Amino acid sequence: MILQSLYELYGRLADDPAYEISEFGYSPQKISFKIVLFPDSRFEIQDARKTDEKGKLRPTYFKVPGDGKRSGSKPVPFFTWDNALYLLGIPPSERSQDWADERREAFLDKHIAILESVDSPFLQKACQFLRDWNPCMAEDPKNKIISEIVTHYGVLQLAGTWQYLHEDPALLSLWDAENGGSGQPDGQCLITGTQSKIARLHPTIKGITPPKGKQQKDGPLVSIDKGSPAFASYGKTQSYNSPVGEDAAFRYGTALNAMLNGPKSHKHRMRIGDTTCVFWTDRESLVEDIFAEFASDGSHAVEQVQDPQMRQKLEVFLKALRQGRESDLELDSSPDSTRFYLLGLAPNAARLSVRFFYQSSLSELLSNLRAHRRDLEIIREFESPVGKRRADSDFPAYWEFLRETVRQGDDPSPLLGGAMLRSILEATPYPESLFTAILRRVHIERSVNYIKAAAIKSVLVRNHKKSIHIMLDQENKESSYLLGRLFAILEKIQEEGHREQTGRSLDKTIRETYFSTACSTPAAVFPRIEQLSTHHRRHLNPGRKVQFDRMIADVKWPQEPSVGIKKSHNLEEQGLFILGYYHQRRSLFSKVEADSAVATA
């Protein structure tokens, strides 16, 4: 299904000029320089790169003959274009000039041989330049750009025109005659089902982000290890025992490379840990346009994007997630039949590793995203911006949950990232490792923020089938939830009592000292912190003291006196304790904020 989906996508992308998709026998390549040839035999080596929105020079994409692949130790020059090594004989620092000259001469010899069968004045001029060029000319100050593009690709252009050597009609006719045909059929293609010329090697896929500290390594999506029994079976070797036609292989490889490494790659790719993800729909869709922005920033994406049209699309998408299925038609005319695909790839030794492949209809995708939002929805810590801190997102990005599983500056588990994304898209149980990692961070940091609380709630609701409210639940009689509420009340009493007594805020509360123990082994500390609370209550005014006494009674009354405080909490109960604390804490602060608003009105 992966190859077939990509094969079908090629047709749509090829019809869209923005993707700069090439036909069979050609490929889009990053070109950084051009050799401009003048009628009087002068030449200039010019920069072909363009400045992006961040002021950085980026190569320009050109459609050129061939696929840009070389194999073996012998020099293999490309047809009408190549890098500075083959065009100009400029060696990389670790290679000798003789080694570079061998490759430059191979490029020249190949194109001189072509002159025998093609009448091309442009090629004659190009060959004359190649004969006259000496690598020592690279030291001329006017050619200083060469030092920046030693490993980059370049093309040849006629001065005063837009004509490039790789676009010469006579040369293209020769190329198509020799390389554009599919050849005699020698097998049935697994993708199309037709008799085709079978590809011996599958296309090289570029743009897979390597793990931190590793070099990028391109590779095929389909490859068979020579030492594997699958390499030779039923009398067939290499890719012939899993046959894909040359044209079909080109199409799926071109479509995948366009999404990973083409001019519209920002629209189709994102990274999760060491996995590079690409996504697409089988026809044009608003969801395809904005999914990368949404996945990267959640509902905050609306504030982040600068393009008004993109912002409007995101607002429509978020409206559909918040309001329900009736808004799906605003996103797509037929969400039940439009297909959505997500492919996760990671680098590997011989070929790319497929981490996961997800496919569904758009309506199913949106339904699963709504389920995720319902499961995580909890009262936010910051409903509006405070100073430089932006408001909490009502639909946090997946990476915000991953970030809370490790200390600041550390990288989350790449496997957890993939498992988390799959659980969101497929509406399956969240990884329990997310739950345990968040609990561990709460114990270490002795605090709980909005994202941690949302993560804990989502796992308890979906995985453990708990019924948990968005805000404080006065009807929840779970002992661990009530103890979390009690801890929040006792902490608030300590804060207010200290302020009444000293006129200053506390530097450290019972949370820093006792929270972790109270969460896991409550019987060991609650008698102690309740005793401390009686001291702090003495400094409160009578009215406030009565309010807190009622709160404590409301929390303690539902608990069975005969059972007492539990000696220990399991992980599920620890999660409920944390949510009880978070809910009660937000409720207490909401009342303070409301009272403050009334006082200043």
Q: Which two tokens stand for residue 185?
A: 């059929």
Provide the Cα torsion 435, 440, 445, 446; round to 10°. 80
Contacts of 24 (CB under 8 A, 6+ apart): 180, 182, 246, 247, 250, 251
Residues 140 and 63 in one domain: yes
What is the residue-wise DSSP string for 193-259? -SEEPBPSSPPEE--PPPPTTS----EESS---TTSGGGEETTEEGGGGS--BHHHHHHHHHHHHHH
Amino acid at 225: D
Residues 332 and 187 in one domain: no
Report if residue 464 sits inside a domain.
no
Report if residue 470 sits inside a domain.
no
User: Nearest 5°: phi and psi at 242?
Assistant: -140, 70
Report if residue 255 sits inside a domain.
yes
Q: What are the angstrom distances between the C-alpha of 154 and each of 111, 349, 579?
A: 16, 30, 60
Residue segments in the chain with a per-residue pLDDT below the cut of 70: 180-184, 225-235, 558-563, 591-601
Amino acid at 532: L
DSSP state of 304: H
Residues forming a β-bridge with 358: 342
For 359, the 3-state DSSP assignment is strand
| Measured distance CA(601)–CA(599) in Å, rounded | 6
DSSP state of 481: H
Residues 369 and 430 in one domain: yes
| Measured distance CA(280)–CA(367) in Å, rounded | 18
Residues 337 and 451 in one domain: yes
Residues 209 and 227 in one domain: yes
For 45, the 3-state DSSP assignment is strand
Q: How many CA atoms lie within 13 A of 40 on its CB side?
A: 1
| Measured distance CA(264)–CA(428) in Å, rounded | 31
Neighbours of 13 (CB within 10 A): 21
| Measured distance CA(280)–CA(339) in Å, rounded | 8
Amino acid at 172: L
Decide: residue 469, CB within 10 A, 0-12 exposed, 13-18 middle, 19+ buried. middle
Q: At what angle do helices 97-115 and 121-132 cross, to 10 degrees?
A: 160
| Measured distance CA(337)–CA(361) in Å, rounded | 6
Q: Which two tokens stand for residue 560?
A: 């069975």
| Measured distance CA(80)–CA(87) in Å, rounded | 9
Task: Name the strand (E) or helix (H) holding 454.
Answer: helix 450-462
Residues 195 and 218 in one domain: yes
Report if residue 350 sits inside a domain.
yes
Contacts of 118 (CB under 8 A, 6+ apart): 170, 171, 174
Query: Final residue of a domain: which of 244, 267, 290?
Result: 267
Identify whether the C-beta of residue 154 lies closer than 8 Å to the C-beta of residue 82: yes
Residues 295 and 336 in one domain: yes
Identify whether the C-beta of residue 106 lies closer than 8 Å to the C-beta of residue 166: no
For 529, the 3-state DSSP assignment is helix
| Measured distance CA(370)–CA(366) in Å, rounded | 6
Helices marked H in 386-431: 398-403, 414-426
* Nearest-5° Cα angle at 71, 152 to 203: 85
**pLDDT at position 325, please?**
78
Query: Final residue of a domain: which of 247, 267, 287?
Result: 267
Report if residue 473 sits inside a domain.
no
Which residue is listed with tokens 């149980």? Answer: 429
The domain total for the chain is 4
Rounded to a whole number of angstroms, the CA Rg of the chain reads 32
Q: How many CA atoms lie within 13 A of 411 on its CB side?
A: 10
**pLDDT at position 182, please?**
52
Q: Which two tokens stand for residue 53?
A: 């929105």
Residues 98 and 155 in one domain: yes
Amino acid at 539: H
Go through the chain and tell me how many residues it has: 601
Query: Final residue of a domain: which of 157, 180, 203?
Result: 180
Residues 245 and 289 in one domain: no
Task: Name the strand (E) or helix (H) holding 502.
Answer: helix 479-502
Residues 395 and 280 in one domain: yes
Q: What is the sign of the dihedral through the CA atoms of 476, 482, 488 and 492?
A: positive
**pLDDT at position 193, please?**
93
Report if residue 465 sits inside a domain.
no
Residues 244 and 392 in one domain: no
Report if residue 243 sits inside a domain.
yes
Of 526, 548, 536, the C-alpha closest to 495 is 536
| Measured distance CA(156)–CA(179) in Å, rounded | 21
Report if residue 314 sits inside a domain.
yes
Residues 292 and 416 in one domain: yes
pLDDT above 70: percentage of residues in the chain: 94
Domain residue limits at 104: 25-180
